[in-house]
Amino acid sequence: MRMPVVWSERHRLHEPGGEVWVGVRTPGTELPERAERIRAELADARFVEAQEQADDAVLAVHDRALFDYLARAWSDWEASALTEDPGQDRVVPYLFPHPGLFTGFEPVAPAAVSARAGQFAYDTMTLIGPGTWEAARAAVDSAVTAADLVLGGEPAAYACCRPPGHHATRTCFGGSCYLNNAAAAAARMSSGVEGPVAVIDVDAHHGNGTQAIFYEDPRVLVGSVHVDPGAGWFPHFLGFAAETGGGAGAGANRNVALAPGTGDGPWLEAVAELADWARSGGAEALVVALGVDAAGGDPESPLEVTPAAFRAAGRTLGELRLPTVLVQEGGYDLGTIGPLVRETLSGVEEGLGQTTS
User: Closer to ligand SP5 at the Cβ: 196 or 291?
Assistant: 291
Q: Indicate the residue whose CB is closest to ligand SP5.
A: 330
The one among 114, 132, 169, 176 contacting ligand SP5 by CB under 6 A: 176
> Can you tell me the distance from the alpha carbon of 326 to that of 340, in angstroms, rounded to the nearest whole number?
14
User: Closer to ligand SP5 at the Cβ: 125 or 352?
Assistant: 125
For strand 24-26 and strand 5-7, is the pairing parallel, antiparallel, or unpaired? unpaired
User: Closer to ligand SP5 at the Cβ: 166 or 315?
Assistant: 166
Residue 205 touches Zn ion, criterion: CB under 5 A: yes
Residue 173 C-beta: closest distance to Zn ion, Å? 15
Residue 175 touches ligand SP5, criterion: CB under 6 A: yes
> Can you tell me the distance from the alpha carbon of 332 to that of 159, in angstroms, rounded to the nearest whole number?
17
Residue 29 C-beta: closest distance to ligand SP5, Å? 6
Cα torsion 6, 8, 9, 13: sign: negative
CA 34-37-39 angle, to 5 degrees, is: 110
The one among 223, 229, 249, 330 contacting ligand SP5 by CB under 6 A: 330
Q: Which of 206, 209, 180, 172 is nearest to 96 (CA)?
A: 172
- Site residues for Zn ion, 311-340, by CB under 5 A, read 330
Q: Can you say how many angstroms the Cα of residue 352 is from the centroid of all Cα atoms in its chain?
A: 23
Residue 30 C-beta: closest distance to ligand SP5, Å? 7
- For residue 115, give every residue at least 6 positions away whose Cβ sits within 8 Å of its Cβ, in sequence order, or none: 94, 95
Catalytic residue flag (residue 167): yes
The one among 141, 148, 201, 203 contacting Zn ion by CB under 5 A: 203
> Can you tell me the distance from the alpha carbon of 71 to that of 304, in angstroms, rounded to the nearest whole number?
38
Q: Please identify, among the stretches 39-47, 100-108, 175-183, 348-356, the one whose residues bind ligand SP5 according to the rule CB under 6 A.
A: 175-183
Q: What is the DSSP string of 34-66?
A: HHHHHHHHTTTS-EEEPPPPPHHHHHTTS-HHH
Where on the chain is the footprint of ligand SP5 (CB under 6 A)?
19, 21, 26, 29, 125, 164, 167, 175-177, 203, 205, 234, 291, 293, 300, 329-330
Residues making contact with Zn ion (CB under 5 A): 203-205, 291, 293, 330
